[in-house]
């Protein structure tokens, strides 16, 4: 069978100078994706799931969030209010005067917690309202009606003070959607109408049990949950927020599904720090956001500041972490290095320098080949017109292979070690 047609590089999907495009053909899903945005909970779930932050660290994190999404891509960031440190941090964040990310509270559905929001002069707060029978029976030892009555009492008090609430329906993927969730949401919306103050609905997949496929039924199907709530309550898409956990490794897929099927807000943390296996990584969703909506409201180059900030705070980022890990755009394989040398598009999904402000690089081992040596010489010493067949390159590579064979070394060479070898064969470098 003869192959026909011109070569296709799908530049409309993979522009290389920017992130890959995220396109869908279904008109309803396209409309849903036109309204998406990010929200953040690094200072809440991240702090709760990793370690306590100092006030100075809270400010630095907030500054980075504003740098990434201060043009509207990150709508809000949640904060605790329980300690003196928390309340002082909130004062300092509010003093920045940024519109985005908006500083909002996070509280339990109790009158004492609500008073903290009132005292902090915040006009919006997440309010935890555990919704599954697992929580209602085993955590509260209550009936559904007893739990709901308590939630509604505090919600009404907040709304009467003009405070927008995000009702966080904890453990949504183990909840009775039609028997409990939807009737409760309708009661919340009645209060919203009564006080003419917004009620938003937050959907936490608390144990990471959700599945992103539209064919999966309730209660595990994320599309099914969102569609059921939207169709039965007519709540605006912009008032639905999804909050996933990564216990089963599907948190990004679940967040993308939530966006596609009608939850406008994706609630994330920087680097995915959070309870147990963590939350949805904001930096990864920021790249998908740019692939869907473009970069007008998001600054992807600010993501390059993430590793330094969190490593200074003591977080060890694994080298294979997507986008910002040391190995994210660094190849060790000879065949990959050869492809990169011929054209970076062969083994890069986009130009990381143009998109993220991060260079691509090579790790030097016996398996990285002469092409890796050429890339290293180009990147670190500016040798832009040297061939992998150049005798000096061959000599450098042979010395690398000999070093590994004789010493039993397993780790790649550092740049300083590589430089010492190169100096032996490139006399001008010694000067």
Residues of the chain with CATH 3.20.20.70: 27-312
> Which of 69, 103, 108 has the alpha carbon at shortest distance from 86?
103
Tokens representing 289 are 């956001």
Tokens representing 130 are 């555990």
Give the tens place of pLDDT for each residue, 102-135. Answer: 999 999 999 999 999 999 999 999 999 999 999 9
The mean predicted confidence, pLDDT, of the chain is 95
Q: Which residue has the tokens 């995220």?
A: 22
Q: Which residues pair with 240 in a beta bridge?
A: 201
Q: Which residue has the tokens 């996933």?
A: 244
Rounded distance between C-alpha atoms, residue 407 and residue 385, angstroms: 32
Tokens representing 345 are 């598009």
Q: What is the block-wise mean pLDDT of the chain (431 residues), using blocks of 10 residues?
A: 81 96 96 98 96 97 98 97 98 98 98 98 98 98 98 98 98 98 98 98 98 98 98 97 98 98 98 97 98 97 97 95 94 80 90 94 89 90 91 95 93 92 89 64
CATH class of 27-312: alpha beta
Whole-angstrom CA distances from 408 to 67, 334, 373, 402 are 45, 19, 20, 10
**Amino acid 338: pLDDT:** 79
All residues at 6 or more sequence positions from 143 whose CB lies less than 8 Å from its CB, including other chains: 136
Q: Which residues pair with 105 in a beta bridge?
A: 79, 125
**Amino acid 335: pLDDT:** 78
**Amino acid 1: pLDDT:** 59
Rounded distance between C-alpha atoms, residue 154 and residue 135, angstroms: 18
Tokens representing 193 are 């109408």
Rounded distance between C-alpha atoms, residue 44 and residue 319, angstroms: 26
Q: Are 97 and 62 in contact (CB under 8 A)?
A: no
> Which of 124, 53, 126, 128 has the alpha carbon at shortest distance from 92?
53
Q: Which helix (H) or strand (E) holds 290?
A: helix 282-293
Q: Which residue has the tokens 């209060």?
A: 191
Give the tens place of pLDDT for each residue, 244-273. Answer: 999 999 999 999 999 999 999 999 999 999
Q: Which residue has the tokens 């891509």?
A: 73
**Amino acid 354: pLDDT:** 96
Q: Which residues pair with 79 in a beta bridge?
A: 105
> Which of 29, 33, 26 has the alpha carbon at shortest distance from 292?
33
**Amino acid 431: pLDDT:** 64
Helix ranges (H only) for 326-390 are 334-342, 352-356, 369-381
């Amino acid at each position: 069978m003869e192959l026909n047609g011109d070569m296709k590089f799908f530049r409309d999907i993979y522009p290389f100078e920017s992130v890959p495009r995220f396109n869908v053909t279904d008109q309803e899903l396209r409309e849903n994706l036109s309204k998406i945005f990010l929200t953040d909970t690094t200072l809440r779930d991240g702090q709760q799931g990793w370690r306590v932050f100092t006030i100075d660290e809270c400010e630095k994190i907030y500054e980075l969030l504003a740098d990434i999404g201060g043009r509207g891509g990150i709508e809000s960031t949640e904060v605790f209010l329980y300690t003196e440190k928390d309340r002082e941090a909130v004062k300092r964040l509010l003093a920045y005067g940024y519109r985005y990310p908006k500083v909002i509270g996070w509280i339990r559905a109790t009158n004492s917690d609500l008073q903290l929001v009132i005292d902090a002069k915040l006009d919006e707060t997440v309010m935890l309202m555990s919704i599954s029978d697992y929580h209602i029976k085993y955590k509260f030892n209550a009936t559904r009606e007893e739990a709901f009555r308590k939630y509604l009492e505090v919600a009404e008090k907040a709304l009467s003070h003009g405070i927008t609430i995000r009702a966080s329906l904890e453990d949504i993927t183990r909840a009775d959607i039609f028997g409990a969730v939807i009737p409760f949401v309708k009661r919340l919306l009645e209060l919203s109408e009564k006080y003419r103050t917004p009620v938003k609905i937050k959907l936490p997949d608390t144990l990471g049990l959700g599945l992103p496929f539209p064919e999966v039924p309730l209660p595990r199907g994320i599309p099914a949950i969102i569609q059921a709530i939207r169709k039965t309550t007519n709540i605006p898409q912009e008032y639905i927020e999804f909050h996933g956990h990564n216990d089963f490794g599907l948190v990004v897929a679940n967040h993308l599904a939530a966006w596609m099927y009608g939850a406008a807000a994706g609630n994330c943390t920087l680097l995915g720090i959070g309870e147990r296996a963590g939350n949805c990584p904001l930096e990864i969703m920021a790249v998908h956001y740019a692939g869907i909506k473009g970069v007008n409201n998001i600054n992807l180059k600010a993501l390059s500041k993430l590793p330094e900030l969190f490593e200074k705070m003591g977080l060890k980022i694994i080298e294979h972490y997507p986008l910002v890990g040391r190995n994210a755009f660094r190849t060790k394989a000879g065949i990959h290095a050869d492809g990169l040398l011929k054209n970076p598009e062969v083994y890069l999904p986009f130009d990381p320098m143009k998109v993220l402000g991060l260079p691509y690089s090579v790790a030097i081992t016996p398996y990285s080949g002469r092409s890796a040596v050429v890339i290293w010489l180009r990147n670190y010493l500016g040798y832009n017109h040297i061939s992998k067949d150049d005798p000096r390159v061959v000599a450098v590579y042979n010395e690398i292979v000999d070093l590994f064979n004789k010493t039993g070394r397993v780790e790649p060479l550092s740049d300083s070690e590589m430089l010492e070898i190169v100096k032996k064969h490139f006399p001008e470098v010694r000067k």
